Structure 1
Amino acid sequence: MTAVEYWRHRIPSPGITPGETSFPMTHHDNSYKLLFSHPRMVHDLLTGFVREAWVEQLDFTSLEKVSGSYVTDELRDREDDVIWRIRWGEDWVYVYLLLEFQSSVDRFMAVRIMSYVGLLYQDLIRQKALTPTGRLPPVLPVVLYNGEERWHAAPNVAELVEQVPGGLEHYRPALGYLLLDEGAIVNDPAWSEPARNVVAALFRLENNRDEQDMLHALGRLVDWLKAPEQTSLRRAFVVWIRRVWLPHRAPGMELPELNDLQELHEVHTMLAERIKKWPERWRQEGLEQGIEQGLEQGREEGTRRMLTRLIVKKYGVIPTWAQNRLDQAGTEQLETWAEAILEAETLEALLSGTPGH
C-alpha cells in the first residue's frame, strides 16, 4: 500500500453513509462559523472567489460583522450562519453577506435562501437600515459547500417553481445565490489559485490529494498568518484542525500531544514529523489486513473442501449446478449447509435450504 493509496483510503468516498468515517457536522459548521467570523476570511472569500466588478469598489476596512439572530413578525427565531456588511463605493451602501454552510446537497436550498433574505430584509426595515435613497441594501447570499458529492441543486428559486402559461409566470419568484463548491473549484484543471488567499488554502486542505499536498497547504497558512493581528485566526484554524479536519482525514492516527498545541506552526511541525512515521504504520496495517484476509480465506476454503467430501459420500457425484453454488458460497453459507447435511434427504433439498424434504 502506497502513501497516496493509504491517504485516499482514509478519505470517505462519495458514497459514504452517516456514521462511517464522517464527523459531527455541528462541529464542522461551528468551526467554519468561527473561521468566517474573521475579516481576513471574508476579504479573501470576496476577492478570490467573487469575480465581479463591484467587489473592486468595496472598502474592506469597513467590514463589520452583523448579528444573525432576529425575530420575525411571527415571533419565530432565526439565526443565520454568518452575516457581514461592508461599505461599497463612496456612499454608505451596505452589502450583506449571508453565508450558508452546507455539507450535503439540499435540493431546495434556493427556497431556504429566499426565506433567509426575506427575514434579513424584515429586520433591516425594522431597524430603518436603508440606503440613502430609501431602498433596501443589496444582499449577496453565499452557499459554501464542502460535501463529497458535487452540488446539483437549482441555483435560483425560479427553477423550482412550476411554470403556468397565460400570465401567471410573471409572478414567479426569482432569487439566486452564489455557490462555492469547494471540491469542484479545487479539482478544476482550469482553476487558477489566487495568491496568498487563506480561503483557497482552506479549500485545498479540505480537498487535498495526499499528505504532502496537505502539508504544503498548511505550510502556506503558517506563512500567511504570521502577523500578531492574525493570532485569533490562527487559533481558529487550530481548533478546526483539531476538532474536525484531523478526525476526518486521519481517524486512526494517535496524536495525543495535539491537545497541547496552541499555534498553527506547532501543528504543522508535529504533522510533518508524524507523517514521516506513517509509512511504517501503513505497512503494518497492510500486513495485519492481509493476515486477517488470509485466515478468513483459509477457513472458507477448508469448509468448502470438507462439505464437498461429505456431499460426495452421501449423494454421489456433484452435478455442475451444485458445484457452482458451492464455489460461490461464503463461509457462513457453507457452514450452514454442513450442519444441515445430516437431515437433508437430497442434494437439492440441502442446497435449497429445506432439509428433510
Structure 2
Amino acid sequence: MSKHHDHSYKLLFSHKTMVKDLLTGFVKETWVEQLDFSKMEKVSGSYISDELRDREDDMIWRVWWHDRWLYVYLLLEFQSSVDKHMAVRVMSYLGLLYQDLIRQDAFTPSGKLPPVLPIVLYNGEQRWTAAQNVADLVETVPGGLERYRPQLSYLLLDEGALVNAPDWSDEMRNVAAALFRIEKHRSEQDVVDSLGHLAEWLSGPEQASLRRAIIVWFYRVFLPNRAPGLEFPDISDVTDLHEVHDMLAERIKKWPEQWEARGLEKGRQEGRQEGLHEGVEGTLRKQIELKFGPLPAWADERLAQATDEQLDAWVARILTADSLDALFTEE
C-alpha cells in the first residue's frame, strides 16, 4: 500500500468524527455507550515518547469514561499481507504508551493506570488470519511456566469483513462506515451512493476540514487505484462533497468504456512487442543454423529465454562469431 494511502488515512482519523463513528459503529460493547465524546481529544505529539512518535501510521486518542480517561490506540495497518506477529507489535506499542502515562502521572483516581483500547484497522484484500492475542503466539509449556505467558488482545477491525456484515446499513449515518463502503465497493453505484451520504452528513461549516480530507483521499488515493491512467480535475480548491458526488455520478457512466479502451490499447501494444520479439528470435535462429548447423538443446533454451537486449546483441555478433560459445558469451 502506498505512503499516500497511509498519510491520507492518518489525516482522516485525525478528525474526531471519524474516530467517534469507528467506535460507535463497530465496537459492539456496552461500555461504548457510556463514553462522553464531548470530552474527546487527540493525544499530542509532545505528550508521547520519541519511540511512539515515530509510529507515523498510528493514532492515539483519549475519551472520557465515567471518572477517568480511556485511551484508544489506533494502529493503521495497510500492508498487502497479514502480519502474523501483530499481537507482539501491539504489546510493544502499548508498553511504550504506558511508560509515557507513568512519566506524566496520568493515573486514574484509584492510582492505577488508565485503560487502553488497542485497535488494528486493516484494509487488505485477504481476510485477517493472524492471532489477536499474544498468548496464542507463545508456546505453552506445562509444569507452571504457562502462568507467565503474556496475555494481551487487540480489537481487529477488518474493513473487508465489516462492509459485508449483515447489520451494516446506510441508516447508520456513520462516516467511517461510508468510507469503508467506498473502499470495498461492489459496484460503481456503491461509490456514488456512499459519496452522496457523506455529502449529506458533512454539510456543516464545522465539518469543512473533514470534507476536505475525504476529497483529498478520494482523488489522490482511491481514484488513482481504481481507475489508473484516467485524468481527473484539479482539486486544489474543491471543498464541496456534493460537487464531487455530481461529477462522479456523471463521469462514472463512461468509466467502463474508458477502461475497456485502455485495456484493448494495452493489449495491442503488448501484442506488437511480442510479435517483434518473436520475429527477431526467428530470424536469428535461421542465421545460426545456416552458419553453425542445427541448434543444440542448450542454445535453443538460451534463445527461448532471451530478453530483447540479448537478442539485439546476438544479432550484431552473428557475423563475427566463430562459434556458438563465442556468440552467446556475455560481455
Report the TM-score range of the alignment, normalised by the length of the smaller protein: 0.7 to 0.9
Q: Which of 180, 184, 196 is the equivalent residue of 1:207?
A: 184
**Structure 1 pair 312–251 and aligned structure 2 pair: CA distance change class (3 A):** closer
Residue type of the partner of 1:272? Answer: A
**Structure 1 pair 339–191 and aligned structure 2 pair: CA distance change class (3 A):** farther
Q: Which of 110, 114, 120 is the equivalent residue of 1:137?
A: 114
Residue 194 (structure 2) pairs with residue 178 (structure 1): no
Q: Which of 196, 209, 226 is the equivalent residue of 1:249?
A: 226
Q: Which of 126, 130, 139 is the equivalent residue of 1:153?
A: 130
Match in the other structure for 1:231: 208
Q: 1:140: Cα distance to partner?
A: 0.6
Q: Matched residues in 2 for 1:319 and 1:42: separation?
A: 68
1:25-81: per-residue Cα shift (whole Å, max 9, x none)? 2x4333323322323222221122111222233333333333354356xxx553363
Q: Which of 217, 221, 235 is the equivalent residue of 1:240?
A: 217
Residue 78 (structure 2) pairs with residue 103 (structure 1): yes
**Structure 1 pair 339–214 and aligned structure 2 pair: CA distance change class (3 A):** same
Q: Matched residues in 1 for 2:73 and 2:329: separation?
A: 64
Unaligned runs of 5+ in 2: none
Residue type of the partner of 2:241? Answer: L
> Is residue 317–residue 327 contact of structure 2 (8 Å, CA) maintained in 1?
no
Q: 1:325: Cα distance to partner?
A: 5.2
Point out the more displaced range, 299-308 or 49-58: 299-308
Point out the more displaced range, 46-55 or 130-139: 130-139
Residue 14 (structure 2) pairs with residue 51 (structure 1): no
Q: Matched residues in 2 for 1:307 and 1:77: separation?
A: 60
Match in the other structure for 1:8: none
Residue 240 (structure 2) pairs with residue 266 (structure 1): no
Unaligned runs of 5+ in 1: 1-21
TM-score of the aligned structures, taking structure 1 as reference length? 0.74
> Is residue 299–residue 331 contact of structure 1 (8 Å, CA) maintained in 2?
no
Match in the other structure for 1:94: 69
Residue 52 (structure 2) pairs with residue 78 (structure 1): yes
SS in 2 for 1:51: coil
Over the residues paired in the alignment, what is the CA RMSD in angstroms?
Answer: 3.5
Q: 1:263: Cα distance to partner?
A: 1.8
> Is residue 341–residue 350 contact of structure 1 (8 Å, CA) maintained in 2?
no
1:223-281: per-residue Cα shift (whole Å, max 9, x none)? 22223433332122123224433333334222243223122222222333333443453
SS in 2 for 1:61: strand
TM-score of the aligned structures, taking structure 2 as reference length? 0.79
SS in 2 for 1:278: helix
Q: Matched residues in 1 for 2:298 and 2:135: separation?
A: 60
Q: Matched residues in 2 for 1:297 and 1:124: separation?
A: 62
Please list, as runs of the form range in 1=range in 2, the aligned pairs for 1:183-332 lying within 5 A after superposition: 183-186=160-163, 188=164, 190-194=165-169, 195-307=172-284, 309-310=286-287, 313-314=290-291, 328=304, 332=308
Residue type of the partner of 1:100? Answer: L
Q: Matched residues in 1 for 2:223 and 2:209: separation?
A: 20
> Is residue 68–residue 83 contact of structure 1 (8 Å, CA) maintained in 2?
no
Residue type of the partner of 1:96? Answer: Y
Q: 1:98: Cα distance to partner?
A: 0.9
Q: 1:175: Cα distance to partner?
A: 1.0
Residue type of the partner of 1:147? Answer: G
Return the structure number with greater relative CO, CA threshold 8 A, min gap 6. Answer: 1
Residue type of the partner of 1:151? Answer: W
Q: Between Structure 1 and Structure 2, how many residues are aligned?
A: 322
**Structure 1 pair 239–342 and aligned structure 2 pair: CA distance change class (3 A):** closer
